[in-house]
Structure 1
Amino acid sequence: MAAGRLVGAPVPRMEDARLLLGQAQFVADLEAPRMLHMEVVRSPMAHAAINNVDVSEALAFPGVRLALTGEDVLSYGKLPSIDLAGPGNAALQRMLAVGRVRFAGEPVTIVVADDPWIAKEAAALVSLDLTEMPFSLDAEEASGSSAPVVLYPELGGNIIHTARQSVGDVDAAFAEAHHVVDATYRVHRYLAAPMETRGVLADPTGAGRRITLTSSTQFPHLLRGFLAGVLGLSEGDIRVIAPDVGGGFGVKCEFYPEEVLAVVAARKLGRPVKWIESREEHFVATTHAREQVHHLRAAVDAEGVVTAVTLRSVTDNGAAAATLSVTPASISSAMLRGPYRVPNYRAESHSVVTNKTPLAVYRGAGHPQAVLCMELTMDRIAREMGIDRVELRRRNMLTPADMPSDRGTAIVLAGAVIYDSGDYPGCLDRALELAGWTSRAEREADARSRGKLHGVGISCFVEETAIGPYETGHVRVDGSGKVTVLTGASPHGQGTATAIAQLVADELEIDIASIIVHHGDTDVVPDGVGTFASRGGAIAGAAARLAARKVKEKALVVAAEMLQAKPGDLVWAEGEARTATGASMPLAAIAGRSTAWNAMPSGISSFNLDEKAHHQVPGIAFANATHVCSIEIDPETGELEIVGYAVVHDCGTVINPMIIEGQVLGGLAQGLGGTLFEELRYDEKGRLATKSFADYLMPTAADMPQDVALGSMESPSPLNPFGMKGAGEGGTTGSVAAVAGAVADALAPLGVTVASDGPFTPPAIRRLIRAAETAKVA
């Protein structure tokens, strides 16, 4: 696309052609000379003492090169949790279990062999002598002082962390309350299921035994640091590459045992070692998501203004502290009030270990849980007090005049919650207009005439995006005028490279086709943070544009000498420096003049149009949105159909509306999946019962609403030099509460109270209806 204003334009994604033509290179596609293959032997029990691990038969199997147990790697460090400090670190996971196993699926042994099939056969020969121990699958029970099972005796209990928030005088507000709502909300357990499972290839054949780890990861630079810390190596001894990554959604924003084990095995054998996760392994060993229980109380005055909220919650973190272990509890407690004032607030949110697969972040992290609780509570207040639920929301919402708004809470790693900008009432109004709110009575009557129940759910939220601490950008121009951008972001399907190229093209006023963006290699991009928390476009994009601005400023100085003018007399337009008399010098010629085989131009201190920028984030940029979901339910069968959906999203300055639309719709699909279909279930032995897509129902294109009405607003963030916020998670964050609210609205006439996020399968809806009918009879 030719030079012109590209920011705000629906520029086609630069990344797609090679993906569509099958030219992508995922970890599973990679080969290396003399490559070996790793298989992981996992615990078949939820909780057991390890009496002995016998690998002798496996080692004797032809083609097997190595077998390691927990005792063999005991000298290495535990896997870190970057958001956890204090006694809870007792729950950090080892790369292989030692002494006891704490969840079915925990790595116990690895076998490395000449090919993957030999490795799998030999792994089946490993003998595990285990003594089963009592296990815990109930986080509320596990959080008590008399919990029947304590996973880490040195911890003295199962609570690894408590996030506390305190704002205002909660007790005084409840003492004066006109009405009080007391509710418990349950959020079930499910997981991200990217098309590509996890995979690693560790190659130790670099000079001086330098290791190259290729991993399907969202944060190669952080992975390099974690790996160095666990193995006791220098970061300079490690190169990490994130090749094409087939989806992440937060589960690849983790540091896993297999990433370390492949490196340890490769260094011991002096040969490359590859491991590709099976789908069953993904279910039992990749981090799970969401599961929380929230006990919420709200104090309300006679006008429906919520004056105080208290929250006591429990997050089921599974058997160990993951890389981002307490972030879900921290976010859900810090962000519970969403766009509503609620001047008095107190929260106590426990992260608790149980004998399940470890839990961590998934698209939206703790935001969907918080939004679900607050929006269902707002609807309950409206019903119980006889106030229109839209009017109730308007009475409680922050307005643009309230910005910035210090909420008095904080999010672990990210910092203070201070809303920077946004028009929450305006967003609600536009979403209602798109959804045809004023005609809902007619739609309800039509559904009733066909024997259906009609319901509408409203979900208004604010979410943390574009977090720090920083990101890097590096822009260089060669003598042909081609521009190379290096970014510390590590995208995996978002279209970040296109967005960054748009920003750089606008700054230099050049054709976007002349720009190439590189990422995901710690040798090519020495410093970076990664892609998570909706930060790629906003933070990495800002760093890249700032670097491009430095290039432009330097180019003007060089061009001034070439044009025999003063730098201040030049302007930059359409990719060239221009004088008032019409003389000009194009970017390519300026880049050629700046090279080291020429004398250094006066006014600059370094050769080449080659500049770096380090964008330090001053605070969190908060995006917001409103979702409105319309459904119909057949009360006889429990079948649910989404008949209308509207979203208005505000992510500050929009870089590419087409990419944002894709992010919102993709996030919506994942939110609907979790709310309508997906659920992880455990059996009576504490083992995961849903270990494949035969047991775990995923949404398809046919399950998406036929027509999603999308709108956008722009409230630029004062915390970003270009006003940008993030947009990657809002589709998921808002959809959970919107669907749950619609189900609650549809079933309310039957006496049903919805107090969970589902999944609202037909049998589950029938159970809700039957329970309400039974309660009426009683």
Structure 2
Amino acid sequence: MTEQLARPKYVGGSVKRREDPRLLLGRGRYVADINRAGTVFMGVVRSPHAHARIVSVDTSRALADPRVLAVLTWEDIKDAAGPLPCIDRYTDSLPVLQTALADSVVRYVGEPVVALVATTEYAAEDALSLVDVEYEPLPAVVDLDEATAGATLLYPEHGTNVMTTISQDVGDVEAAFAAADRVYEETFTIHRYVPMPMETRGVVAEVDPITERLTLTTSTQFPHLVRGFLSGVLGMPESRIRVVAPDVGGGFGAKCEFYCEEVLAPLFALQLRRPVKWIEDRRVSMVASSHAREQKHTVRVAVQDDGTVTAVDAQSWTSNGAAYCTLATTPASISSAMLRGPYRIPHYRARAHCVVTNKTPLAVYRGAGHPQAVLVMERMMDTIAADLGRDRVELRLQNMITPAELPSDRGTAIVLAGQVVYDTGDYGACLTRAAEMIGLTPDWPAEQAALRADGKYVGIGVASLVEETSIGPYESAVVRVDGAGKVTVLTGSSPHGQGHVTTFSQLVADELEVDLEDITILYGDTDVVADGVGTFASRSAAIGGAAARKAAGVVKDKALAVAAHVLEIDVADLEWRNGAAYVRGVPAKSMSLGELASAATAWNAPLPGGMEFNLEATYQHQAGGIAFSDATHAAKVAVDVETGEVEVLDYVVVHDCGTVINPTIVDGQVHGGVAQGLGGTFMEELAYSADGQPLPVTLQDYIMPTVGDMPWIRTDHMESPTPLNPYGMKGAGEGGATGAPGALVNALQDALAVFGVNLTSDGPWTPDKVLALVPFAEESE
């Protein structure tokens, strides 16, 4: 083959997303699209009570309906299915686990009580009303303070509603407070809202009549973990279980859980030997899929007169809902471990309490504890700056960890992830750039005063953050090349919108120096990809992508060895360029990747000892620690004090996720996260009545942002490569959601500071709540 010019690198370029044309043309394949011959449909009777004793269950009327094929109650499954797993329980956590169906007590509205299967989806829905369940209502506990006090216990046998307390201790907090010039104390509330993916959950369970293997197709973020969970709950070997995640229409943490329906549908499939299908409607999604965010924080901060923050003492309470779910303690663990953010603060004490309440179980949601921590710390930084008469940016810069101080062992730990050791970053540079872009300069106070004199209440808020990303323990990849030189990549990362096909292709294409179009990415099927972990915690590029590129590197080394054998030359005399092995100094003498793959098959003469047939490699990339991304968000808002409407005039994110694979995809991740943060700050709330009834149960009641609500978001990228993987990549998926509430609430505080407000909640700052902050707006003008 003739020598070609060196091809440009793909990594770092805004390559168009390869997965989008198929999806935009309506060729996606979601769980709801799967229709097997003979499929029957599952329905679930759910508790209408937040807390009640089950007196009796009568399924006779349902079973008398000829369309109903089977019914399951707790009595039917108690010996067949164990409790659902919680993988982040602490050793001293109370054993408060969910079961696929309620046993004798229901503890939240929406808890599954009875499941049935009918011939059609409509028949299954109709038959739910034929199941008679008698309840004896019990007092419901929805308020965190009441739950902590323990007047009503969800699990009386444990004598408390506090499931676990997570402790973080660094330095000498008592001495630091004793020596402080000033002490600031505040209590912050973070309200409950929900991830709300576009695609609700769904499952199809079926049993192969020949092999007797169970296949579960489910809308999940981690099919390999689901296989393991299902194996444990049913007591069935993993070798008899296949889990498939087809196209997944968003997850955001709600699909980073193992749910009751993923047990019930397989039980029916094993019983009936017919495919069983269940698709969640939006109302069920709002009461049965995991909830998020709800916490309360009381913090004390020790400060010297020169603005140095010396200590933080924090107590937090997380409303975990009725039981532990798959990832129950992670939000509390992360918020307690990461509350200090990018700031030095040498002395730190945190106690994070996970509390059961009569609400839907709470789990991870994009950011998973980071947004709460950032809101609390960034509000306190603004409070301190205002009290000291200091510039907000200068005070932050004074207390920020500098690049010269990294790596920095923070002395805290995150469940499942390990010790918090900040690796790389320039936090001050991100803050300075964001402040410059948004216009938070020394001239801003004068500009703001002029606007107020004109009746315009405009504020700027910033929030700086450091977030845990790229957690392990590992991710797997297989790279193989066929005789046409085409590359297939199998990855244990299972995408739900992040752009894996594009970014993984960029990484492998650069390693092998081939075209993106020559690469196929396969995922989401435990029979195709034998091993994997999944997609969550901003881990896919840094862990899964690193594994794919490493595997490609091994393939390249194998290809060079094959070329040396075929060309009868020493491998040191070869170089790899443009997807081919070239003899150094002899450009015309080379072998392409396809030729090398063909030469390495078992159809050819045996290869020398120690050389493997086929250009294929498997690689498991293990995380060497947590990689920490960082960012500063800056928002400018205008408040109409007559209507309470808040308009976001400008929004800036300066983000550092290490080596950037695809700037456009990172921007998209940031923008999507900001949208969720904006929704939570100004619109979204999963509120409960005093007796534990969720108040919004449809999208008519639960308000979410639309395109028309979104500001134009300006982003800037900084790159501080991490040494924890060979390519310097960190995670980018959650930083947008992590910083938005803090920046937006600080901006609202700045806009309304003239009224003496002190915002101690993340909202939602709906117009009526904003109006309540400025009752004397007209007189003040």
TM-score interval, normalised by the smaller of the two chains: over 0.9
Q: Offset at 1:720? A: 1.0
Query: 1:684: Cα distance to partner?
Result: 3.6
**Paired letter, 1:502:** Q
Map of 2:126 onto structure 1: 121
Match of 1:282 in 2: 285
Q: 2:33 matched to 1:6? A: no
The answer for unaligned runs of 5 or more in structure 2 is 1-5
Q: Counterparts of 1:303 and 1:685 in 2: how far apart (Å)? A: 49
Are the equivalent residues in 2 in contact too, given 1:198–1:276 (CA < 8 A)? yes
Tell me which amino acid in the other structure corresponds to 2:49: M
CA RMSD of aligned residues (A): 1.5
Is 1:349–2:352 an aligned residue pair?
Answer: yes
Q: Partner of 1:103: helix, strand, or coil?
A: coil
SS of 1:425 mapped into structure 2: helix
Shift of 1:141: 2.1
Q: Report the Cα offset of residue 233 of structure 1.
A: 0.4
Match of 1:595 in 2: 601
Q: Secondary structure at the match of 1:180?
A: strand
- Among candidates 53, 59, 71, match of residue 75 of structure 2: 71
Q: Judge which range, 487-496 or 601-610, deviates more.
A: 601-610
For residue 571 of structure 2, what is the amino acid of its counterpart? P
Aligned to 1:654: 660
| Aligned match of 1:690 | 696
Alignment partner, residue 57 of structure 2: 53
The equivalent position to 2:628 in structure 1, one of 602, 619, 622, is: 622
SS of match in other structure, 2:775: helix
Structure 2 letter corresponding to 1:644: D
Aligned with 2:774 (options 764, 769, 776): 769
User: Quick one: distance in 2 between partners of 1:611 and 1:280?
Assistant: 46
Alignment of 1:331-350 (within 5 A): 331-350=334-353
CA distance in 2, matches of 1:631, 1:380: 19
Deviation (angstroms), 1:71: 1.3
Contact 1:214–1:242 (8 Å) recurs in 2: yes
The reply on whether 1:386 has 2:389 as its aligned counterpart is yes
In structure 2, the partner of 1:269 is: 272
Matched, 1:747 2:752: yes
The answer as to whether partners of 1:38 and 1:113 remain within 8 angstroms in 2 is: yes
Cα deviation digits, residues 608-640 of structure 1 (max 9, x gap) = 001010101110000000011000111222111
- Alignment partners' CA distance in 2, 1:423 and 1:695: 42
The one-letter amino acid paired with 2:27 is Q
Aligned length: 772
Aligned partner of 2:611 among 605, 609, 612: 605
Q: d(CA) in 2 for partners of 1:445 and 1:181?
A: 27
The aligned counterpart of 1:304 is 307
Counterpart-to-counterpart distance in 2, 1:356 and 1:633? 34
Distance 1:703 1:118, change over 3 A: same
Question: Contact 2:141/2:691 (CA < 8 Å) preserved in 1?
Answer: no
| 8 Å Cα contact 1:447-1:632 kept in structure 2 | no
2:759 is equivalent to residue 757 of structure 1: no
Hey, what's the Cα distance between the residues in 2 that align with 1:61 and 1:90? 39
1:77-129 residue CA offsets vs partner (Å, 9 max, x unmatched): 10010001445353100000001100111000011001010011111111011
Q: 2:3 — aligned with what? A: none
- 1:432-482 deviations in whole A, cap 9, x for unaligned? 122122353465256325422111111000000010000001000000001
Q: Percent identity?
A: 57
Letter in 2 for 1:625: A
- The AA in structure 1 aligned to 2:201 is R
TM-score for both structures, normalised by structure 1: 0.98
Q: Is 2:260 the counterpart of 1:257?
A: yes
Q: Which residue of 2 aligns with 1:17?
A: 21
Unaligned runs of 5+ in 1: none
| Letter aligned with residue 354 of structure 2 | S
Q: How far apart, CA to CA, are the structure 1 residues paired with 2:158 and 2:608?
A: 65
Cα deviation, residue 548, structure 1 = 0.2
From 724, 749, 752, give the equivalent of 1:719: 724
Instruction: State the distance in 2 between where 1:494 and 1:79 align.
Output: 28
Which SS does the other structure have where 2:93 is aligned? helix
Choose which of 514, 529, 533 in structure 2 pairs with 1:525: 529
Structure 1 counterpart of 2:33, from 29, 34, 38: 29
Alignment partners' CA distance in 2, 1:503 and 1:734: 28
What is the TM-score normalised by the length of structure 2? Answer: 0.97
Query: Does residue 1:671 correspond to 2:674, yes or no?
Result: no
Which residue of 1 is the match for residue 743 of structure 2?
A: 738
One of 540, 544, 548 as aligned partner of 2:544: 540
Is 1:414 paired with 2:417? yes
1:756 alignment partner AA: S
The C-alpha deviation readout for 1:257-293, integer Å capped at 9, x for no partner, is 0000000011011111000001000000001000000
Q: 2:104 aligns with which of 84, 91, 99?
A: 99
Q: 1:571 maps to which residue? A: 575
1:211-258 Cα distance to aligned partner (Å, 9 max, x none): 000000000000000000000000001000000000000000000000
2:496 corresponds in structure 1 to 492
Question: CA distance change for structure 1 residues 332 and 240 in 2, over 3 Å: closer, same or farther?
Answer: same
Residues 520 and 221 of structure 1: CA distance in aligned 2, closer, same or farther (over 3 Å): same
Q: After superposition, where does 1:450-461 map in structure 2 within 5 Å?
A: 450-461=454-465
Three-state SS of the structure 2 residue aligned to 1:429 is helix
Distance 1:773 1:287, change over 3 A: farther
What secondary structure is seen at the aligned counterpart in 1 of 2:464?
strand
Once the two structures are overlaid, the 10-residue window that deviates more, 676-685 or 528-537, is 676-685
**Aligned partners of 2:747, 2:103: CA distance in 1, in Å?**
48
Q: Is 1:370 aligned to 2:373, yes or no?
A: yes
Mapped contact 1:649–1:713 kept (Cα < 8 A): yes
Which residue identity is paired with 1:408?
A: G
Aligned amino acid, residue 477 of structure 1: V
- 1:166 is paired with a residue whose SS is strand
Partner of 1:710: 715
Q: Counterpart of 1:481?
A: 485
| Contact 1:3-1:505 at 8 Å conserved across structures | no
Contact 2:393 2:432 in 1 (8 A): no
- Structure 1 pair 80–541 and aligned structure 2 pair: CA distance change class (3 A): same
Whole-angstrom distance in 1 between the partners of 2:128 and 2:34: 23
Give per-residue Cα distances to partners, 1:116-149, cap 9 Å, x unaligned.
10011111111011000011001222123xx111
Retained in 1: the 8 A contact 2:641–2:777? no
From 328, 332, 348, give the equivalent of 1:325.
328
Cα deviation, residue 604, structure 1? 4.2
Match of 1:138 in 2: 143
Q: Matched residues in 1 for 2:236 and 2:474: separation?
A: 24
Alignment-mate amino acid for residue 614 of structure 1: Q
Correspondences of 1:187-202 after superposition (within 5 Å) = 187-202=190-205
* 1:451–1:634 CA contact under 8 A, matched in 2: no
Paired residue secondary structure (1:685) = coil
Partner Cα separation in structure 2 for residue 22 and residue 88 of structure 1:
46
Q: Which amino acid aligns with 1:739?
A: L
